[in-house]
Structure 1
């Protein structure tokens, strides 16, 4: 799992059948100091509550769609939760 910040959304007129009814968001991965790390990714909002500006934690690959309880979903990343508090002990 890793941390990211929702920076936008994606609207698709056509998408894979397994993604119908799911919200797609643009998420910027962050490092331990909450600074941008790498390129933004498109993630499924598996909790159906995420929005722009939210600090979230994500899973990659097959694990990204586990909360959806579907056999197979076309996904590289999935939002698992919204972070309320983030602290790293020095």
Structure 2
């Protein structure tokens, strides 16, 4: 799993047959300081993450399993599997959704 920040959403009304019409999030992976390298990624989101929220994402076969139970006909490579409320490391609060 990796931590990412939702920076927007993607609309795609025409999709591969293996993909349902769930929300697509535009995310950036973040480091321990909340910084990104600028790379953008699209993740399937069945949880309803909002812009600015930190999320847990999985990739590859883990994303396919999380999204479709592992169907090989599902072309999903990145999936939101959790919306983060708080991140603590070495007694330092790195992120708090409510502050």
TM-score strictly above 0.5: yes
Q: Over residues 38-89 of structure 1, what are the superposed CA-to-partner deviations in whole Å (9 max), with x where a residue is unaligned?
A: 50100001x3321211110111111113223352321221111000000111
Matched, 1:12 2:15: no
User: Matched residue of 1:81: which SS?
Assistant: strand
Larger radius of gyration: 2
- Which 5+ residue runs of structure 1 have no aligned equivalent? none
Aligned length: 89
Q: TM-score, normalised by structure 2?
A: 0.79
Higher relative contact order (CA 8 A, sep 6+): 1
Q: What corresponds to 1:64 in structure 2?
A: 63
